[in-house]
Amino acid sequence: MKILITAGGTSEPIDDVRKITNTSTGSLGLAIGNAFLENHRDVIEKIYYLHGEKAAYPVDELVTPVKIGGTMDLLWEMERILESEKIDAVVHAMAVSDYMVDEVTTKRALLNGERSPFVSDTKISSKIDDLVICLTRTPKVINTIKKISPDTRLVGFKLLSSVPHEELMRVAQGVMDANDCEFVLANDLSEIGDGKHKGYLLHRDGSYDTMETKQEIAEMIAKRLTE
């Protein structure tokens, strides 16, 4: 089977040198890639591995790494691959930015309804006292996967922060419904750290597997997609 894994975080440029990133290290995606390669190698033909700029990827003859910058970059690469060949499963673990930069301006210009005093694509001066970054929502990359390739099995991911378990699972169910996922891995920042990584792999029937570490999560996802 051919698999596409996304891992790590996108980075959205503010100017030449500054960018908005997220805390994703890509280590869960890496564990998933390795779980496929180590435990299910006999059924793997190829893994496209789309990774954030600073995220590691499995170095293996079966893996094609693709470095991703911003969300639009991810969208473009995902579309390119899904449109050019049949991908059996997508594991979309990447922490995709919900926002990208619309405009960098000053509070004064914003309040006065004036245009930004900055030219994009150059480094913004370090001496602005009221710098403001206006953001706009990014397109939902996960939403395009089944539209392009309806037969591809899809694992979505949802990370929340310090919410009750019922809310986490409800939001995960929402991700499943909105994007036609086969599975959604739900996790909460408050249950991650010190070698522990609690994860809940939601199935279409509403049941879910519960895992305690990245390794267990990775192995469960690889098992569910290959069984």
Report the C-alpha dihedral over residues 177, 90, 143, 54, rounded to 10 degrees: 120
Q: Which stretch binds a copy of itself (CB under 8 A): 38-46, 104-112, 149-157, 177-185?
A: 104-112
Report in angstroms how near the CB of residue 221 gets to a copy of itself at its nearest: 21
Nearer to a copy of itself (CB atom), residue 85 or residue 130? 130
Structure tokens at 143: 């939403």
Amino acid at 43: V
Binding to a copy of itself by residue 111, rule CB under 8 A? yes
Nearer to a copy of itself (CB atom), residue 80 or residue 137? 137
Binding to a copy of itself by residue 178, rule CB under 8 A? no
State the DSSP H helix or E strand holding residue 173, giving kind and residue range, or none if neither: helix 165-179
Q: What angle do CA 21, 197, 181 make, to 5 degrees?
A: 75
Binding to a copy of itself by residue 21, rule CB under 8 A? yes
Write out the DSSP string of 31-97.
Answer: HHHHHHHHHSGGG--EEEEEEETT------TTEEEEEE-SHHHHHHHHHHHHHHS--SEEEE--B--
Tokens 């030449």 sit at which residue?
Answer: 16
Q: What is the DSSP letter of 217?
A: H
Q: Which stretch binds a copy of itself (CB under 8 A): 82-90, 130-138, 206-214, 219-227?
A: 130-138
Tokens 């395009």 sit at which residue?
Answer: 144
> What distance in Å separates the CA atoms of residue 101 and residue 137, rounded to the nearest whole number?
9
Q: Which stretch binds a copy of itself (CB under 8 A): 72-80, 86-94, 118-126, 141-149?
A: 118-126
- The single residue among 44, 95, 142, 175 that binds a copy of itself, judged by CB under 8 A, is 95
Query: Which is nearest to 102 in space by CA: 131, 72, 136?
Result: 136
Binding to a copy of itself by residue 114, rule CB under 8 A? no
Binding to a copy of itself by residue 72, rule CB under 8 A? no
Tokens 């609690």 sit at which residue?
Answer: 198
Binding to a copy of itself by residue 161, rule CB under 8 A? yes
Binding to a copy of itself by residue 19, rule CB under 8 A? yes
The contacts of residue 121 (CB under 8 Å, 6+ apart) are 15, 16
Q: Which stretch binds a copy of itself (CB under 8 A): 59-67, 131-139, 145-153, 193-201?
A: 131-139
Nearer to a copy of itself (CB atom), residue 113 or residue 195? 113
- The single residue among 85, 108, 120, 134 that binds a copy of itself, judged by CB under 8 A, is 134
Q: What is the DSSP letter of 115?
A: P
> What distance in Å separates the CA atoms of residue 26 and residue 21, rounded to the nearest whole number?
13
- The single residue among 38, 85, 98, 167 that binds a copy of itself, judged by CB under 8 A, is 98
- Contact set with a copy of itself (CB under 8 A): 11, 14, 16-24, 54, 95, 97-99, 107, 110-111, 122-123, 126-137, 159-162, 189
